Structure 1
Amino acid sequence: MNKSTYFTQPVNDFVEWLAQRLCGAPIRFAAPNTKHYLHLHDALAVYQWPPRLKAPLPVSDPGLPYIHPSLPPLPGGSNLAANTALLSSIENALSKSYAAGASHGNQLAGAVAATFHWGGVYTKRGNGAWLLKNHHQLHGILSGFALDHARGDDVSKASNLRFNSGMTKVYALLLSDFIIYDSRVAASLAWLAHNWWTTWLKRPAGAFPTELKFGCLAANGSMAPFRNPTTTVFPTLWNSPYKHYTWNVRANWILGDAHKLAGGSSRFANLREVEAALFQMGDRVC
């Protein structure tokens, strides 16, 4: 569906409530064994990534044809400013190689590899293996996604859509209005929506609006149980690229409108800062 169809009354009401949170109204986030945040911008203030020191590129492999951008290492626990600077460099490399066309596929693959590695999702059997197999046609894949997204619909019509926590990072750097929708961001949006409905409006969880049942994503390892605030309300998406796409687009619409509605009173300079706060908050939501 398109944005105007999706924005029912519950969605509009949630956007208005969320805009107030962007302006400093409390969220009173609390979850066991994790940091509590009275305000959403409190989470932004303590943003940290990555968990440990890493060079923002995969380990050099003479068998790979990629041409990587030149980037500094990123110390563990780097703050928002350090991450923003690094992502700006990766985004610049990605944008330039994409704009140059298919003839610069090795540069484009290098920028995508750097994005995966920054996000901690460059795995040999997962995103790394996919990139190696598809780097020759990477420009066409990204072009197809961009054209598909430009239709303004929350349902992708792309064939063989590649969409996971790694590719959402690539698409977010490729498109200015696309946020990273990974397990942490999804978990935070689900928590906020559920808290708004049950705590602020005091309405029954059983009547929770379908339009706001954000698709949650399973985390890896020990954090897998902690990225869905209420599993009876919010579905967990298991290798569901088309559903992942749908909820990424809807999150774009909701956060974009909330940030626009907040205007000059917002504590967040841009949508990327909102995403960063949600990421920090979403480490553990239950």
Structure 2
Amino acid sequence: MQRAIFLVRSIQGIRKPTFRSRLMALANSNYQIVVLLAMTNFDEIWQAKREFKLIKLPAETQNIRLINLADIYADHDGIALSDDDYLTPDLTQLKSYESHAGKLPVTRFVGADGNIVAETLFGEDSTRLHTILFDKNSRIIQINNYDDADKLFGIEKYTNNLLDESLLLNAKGQLVFRFTNYLQPQKTTYDLTDSSVIPLPAELTALPGQKDDDMLKSYEAQGASTITKAVSYTNYRRYDDINAFYHQVLLNMDLENAQTYVDIDHLVEAAKYLPGKRIFNY
């Protein structure tokens, strides 16, 4: 039987019509398919699972496995979490209030000062999906992510409401991977003519040295991109490029001769770590 693996790095990827069409085509061709929810923003995993259920696959389809990084590294060795790695407030001593987030039940825990300390979101079957911890200004500082067996598998740490670090745990609750996000300054240059139908965004600045009567003018935008690095606590290997980590993940899965499908948004950067391997996009 032919095999295929979809490397899904974000919830935006699983929402793409091309993802669904590629998946349906392979399922109808009787491929053995693995969909790897490989996002290091672990809070997207439960959302991606719900999105996947909305895909109308053929009723007889049985050859699709939906897994994530915690499944792959469940049995790998790790180290004990330190007290500095995550917060563990005792929520049982706080007042709790039942509510809903959309159609899902949520319990909010409130401190003596009247501020929300945490909230826990539950699935339709009453299993925990995540618990979010907040600071005094209602900013997210940590998210604990739980699997279908109600076991903690991932911890996300936030700074100024931005995801700073993700901790992947094995089945014993030990730390096996630490993913750290960094902001990298980025410049983008645009060339526009006076007849361009695209309005000039306010954040663009004209590059110096250009004449007023130039038909084509260049503008520059300042921004930042997020890069993710990883550290293994099994063999202490460091990955300065998240694509190198994903390459190792695919090697660990031992899917020889499987067709690999990568989000087209990440295709170029992923290709350099998969030499000699046929890569398809979605």
Measured against the shorter chain, the TM-score band is: under 0.3
Which structure is larger by alpha-carbon Rg, 1 or 2? 2
Q: TM-score, normalization: structure 2?
A: 0.27
The structure that is strand-richer by fraction is 2
The structure that is helix-richer by fraction is 1
**Higher RCO (CA 8 Å, separation ≥ 6 residues):** 1
Q: TM-score, normalization: structure 1?
A: 0.26
